[in-house]
Amino acid sequence: GELVFGSLQPIKAGSDHAITAGVNASFDLLNLQTVAASKQASIGREVAQHKQRASEQQVAYEIKKTYNDILFIQSQRIAIQQSMKRYEVALVLQRDLLKNGLAIPTDTLRVFTDRQVQELDLIQLHYAEENLYNLLRYQLGIKAQTKIQLTDREFLTEVGMKRENPDLAKRADLDAHQAQIVWAKQSVRAANAASLPVLSLTGNWQLQGQDDRLNFSSWKFPQSSFVGVSLSIPLFNGFRREARVQQANIDVQQSTVQYQDAMHRAVLEYEQHWNKYEELQKKWEAQKRVRESAQRTLNAQTDRFKKGLIKWLEVKDAELVLTQAQFGIAQIQMQINSTLIELERINPAQ
Q: Are 343 and 271 in contact (CB under 8 A)?
A: no
pLDDT of residue 19: 66
Q: Are 233 and 199 in contact (CB under 8 A)?
A: no
Q: Are 228 and 26 in contact (CB under 8 A)?
A: no
Interval 233-283: pLDDT, tens: 777 666 777 888 888 899 899 999 999 999 999 999 999 999 999 999 899
The answer for residues whose C-beta is within 8 angstroms of residue 148's C-beta and 6 or more apart is 133, 136, 137
Looking at the chain, the whole-number percentage of residues with pLDDT higher than 90 is 23
Within the chain, strands assigned E span 2-5, 8-12, 17-30, 198-211, 223-232
Q: Is the pLDDT of residue 108 over 70?
A: yes
DSSP label of 309:
S
Q: Are 259 and 177 in contact (CB under 8 A)?
A: yes
Q: Are 138 and 131 in contact (CB under 8 A)?
A: no
What does the alpha-carbon distance between residue 106 and residue 129 come to, in Å, rounded to a whole number? 35
Looking at the chain, the whole-number percentage of residues with pLDDT higher than 70 is 85
Question: Of 132 and 114, which is predicted with more confidence?
Answer: 132
Q: Which of 241, 183, 191 is nearest to 32 (CA)?
A: 191
Interval 199-238: pLDDT, tens: 777 877 777 766 655 555 666 667 777 677 777 777 766 6
